[in-house]
Structure formats: structure tokens, C-alpha cells
Amino acid sequence: MKTEILNAQIPAALQRAGELLKAGELVAVPTETVYGLAADASNAEAVVQIFTAKQRPRNHPLITHIGHLEQLERWVKHVPDWVAPLADAFWPGPLTLIFERHPSVSDVITGGLPTIGVRMPNHPVLLSLLQQFDMAVAAPSANPYQKLSPTSAEQVILGLDGKIAAVLDGGNCDIGTESTILRVGEHQAEILRCGPLSAADLQPYLPLPVSVPHSHTESVSGNQKVHYQPNAKVIICPTESLATLLQAAPQTTGILVYSPPLRQLDCPHRIVVAGNHHDYRKALYAALHRLDQTGAEQLLVEAPPRLPEWADIWDRLSRAAG
């Protein structure tokens, strides 16, 4: 299959992406977090192809992306009272909510679970696509299973060229890591996956205390310990010892650093990222992708600050380190 590259700024390209999706094809689409591999969520035969293209196990549930709030009723059994304040505050945005699923929702989307994850993405291209075609799309991150999530159309192509009908190029993703996943139960709310929105961000809009579990449940993809992996072996090093470790390391070692003293280190595979959380997050996956392309076999990553707002970065890096 030849994968079409569609420039999202051209209206005809947006139209083409919508038509392909409506025809049951897979199209990678930009979101504010990472690129998603989309299929029309109401077409189970289309959705099932996502698993083949990604080589993803069939029991790993997908997030359903909606273009406006009224669509929620089509996918969930009932809309609980706690939704309105969260949706008002954070949708469209990087927040996935877990609901009891509507009886008509295919097992293919939920991986057989009685629940469904839904979010309204905050990307003008994807929002207008969903609204224009009055469609919801099931979309995991647009990478082969257990590889890095893509934050640009080029990275999508590197992983999935020839396996999907098209990629809608909407530029680089603004946020750069995957959405926060929140499950609101009877007695507590739980963050299932750390992301751009922290427990402190969410708590004011919730009627129950929100917790961040320390151990991940293995049952859901993305909650497995090993995930988000580049090809190179990733080693997280304290700032103080990185230079010494690099001296003893083989030639094929790359570094990913942000501290001023380490920015000058002599290393052919050196990637310098910003030290502030926002820009670091935006650059992280792209940097790991770039490093993989240099052929570096191992990567010394300068440990990020141990501060609460860096929890999402620690989560992704520890999984990359396996």
C-alpha cells in the first residue's frame, strides 16, 4: 500500500482524510499530544486493522476521540454527573476519561473491557475533521507496538509507511507526550496513566480524592512496564555522573542532556533539550527518535528534576529504560 501524505493546511487534503476514514481506511492524524492512528470508531472492521498495522495485541483497548460533547452519549452507557466540570475545564485537551461503555460499542475498541476511554483532542485539524464528518475515531498512538509515539508526520512514516492509507500532516505536536488517563470510581478517582494534566490540576474539578497509583496494572497497554521504547538501550544517569559514565562508554553511545555544563560534552550523538518542563516534554520523543536514527546503541539520559510536575517525564523515561 502506498501511504499518502496529506497536508492538513489544504482543505482538499482534510476532505480526503475524512473520505478515507469513512471508507474504512486507516489515517494517522495529528493531536496536541502525539499522532494517533485513526479509524472510524463506528466501523469495527476498520478499527480491527489498527491492531494489524501496529502489531498491537487485540486485548489492548483504544481511546475513542470525539469532536463535540454531544457525541459522548453515543459511546458511553450514561454520562455521569462528574463529567461536566472536567469537560468544561479540560476538553478539548489531553485528558482521557474512562466510562462504562455503551452497549453498542464494539469489543474491538475496548479490548473486551466493559469500559471505554474517551477524549476530545485539542487540535484544530482533528477537531474540524471530526466535526465536518460528524465522526468519532478510535486511535492509539501512531507507532508500531512498543515503539516511541510519533510527534510529527515524518516519525509516523518511519514506523508505519506502507501499512496505512494516509498520514494527515498537521505539523509537530504541541504537548509531545500522551494524555492523562483518569478513572472516576464510586469512592475515588485514579490516574491510570500520568500525563500533561496532574492530580493537582484535576482535583479542583472532582468530587472525590484523586490518587496516582504507584504500581501499574499490566492488563492495559501503555500500563506495562516496558513501553515507549527507542531502539537504543536507555540508561538514566544523575547529572553529576553522566560525564564520567560517558568517558567509559563505547563510541556508539548517545547522550540526551539539558544542564548547561553537560551541553558542551564532546559526543557525536549529543542531543540537547531545554531544561524547562514544557519544552522538554515537547522535544523528548522527537529527540529519542533522532537518536535512534543516528544508530546509537545506547543512550545516557540526564535524569530530569525530581519534582512533582516532572512525574509524566519520569514515567515515560523509566519505561523507555525498561
Q: Which residues are annotated as a binding site for ATP?
A: 56, 115, 141, 149, 193, 228
Half-sphere exposure (Cβ direction) of 248: Cα atoms closer than 13 Å: 4
Size of the site for Mg ion (CB under 5 A): 1
- Asked if residue 140 binds ligand TXA (CB under 6 A), the reply is yes
Q: Which stretch binds ligand TXA (CB under 6 A): 9-17, 111-119, 157-165, 201-209?
A: 111-119
Which of 28, 41, 135, 181 forms a contact with ligand TXA (CB under 6 A)? 181
- In which residue are the cell numbers 485539542 written? 122
Locate 175 and state its grid cell: 504537548
Q: Would you list which residues are annotated within the binding site? A: 33, 56, 65, 115, 119, 139, 141, 149, 179, 193, 228
Burial of 17 (0-12, 13-18, 19+ CB in 10 A): buried
Report in angstroms how near the CB of residue 264 gets to ligand TXA at its nearest.
35
Report in angstroms how near the CB of residue 35 gets to ligand TXA at its nearest.
7
Spatial CA neighbour of 202 closest among 87, 306, 67, 58:
87
- Binding residues for Mg ion restricted to 125-144, rule: CB under 5 A: 141
- Asked if residue 220 binds ligand TXA (CB under 6 A), the reply is yes
Which of 18, 30, 67, 117 forms a contact with ligand TXA (CB under 6 A)? 117
**What DSSP character marks residue 103?**
T
Report in angstroms how near the CB of residue 278 gets to ligand TXA at its nearest.
16
Which of 3, 31, 122, 151 forms a contact with ligand TXA (CB under 6 A)? 31
Cα(96)–Cα(206) distance, rounded to whole angstroms?
14
- Asked if residue 3 binds Mg ion (CB under 5 A), the reply is no
Q: Which does 36 bind (CB under 5 to 8 A by kind): Mg ion, ligand TXA, none?
A: ligand TXA
- Asked if residue 113 binds ligand TXA (CB under 6 A), the reply is yes
- Asked if residue 253 binds ligand TXA (CB under 6 A), the reply is no
- Four-residue CA torsion sign, 197, 200, 203, 209: positive
- Are 109 and 138 within 8 A, CB to CB? yes
- Are 256 and 287 within 8 A, CB to CB? yes
Helices (H), the chain: 11-22, 44-54, 72-75, 83-90, 107-110, 124-132, 153-160, 199-202, 239-248, 260-263, 277-294, 311-321
Cα(133)–Cα(14) distance, rounded to whole angstroms?
10
Note the residues at the interface with ligand TXA (CB under 6 A): 31, 33-34, 36, 60-63, 94, 96, 98, 110, 113, 115-117, 121, 139-141, 178-179, 181, 192-193, 220-223
Q: Which spans of this chain sit near Mg ion (rule: CB under 5 A)? A: 141
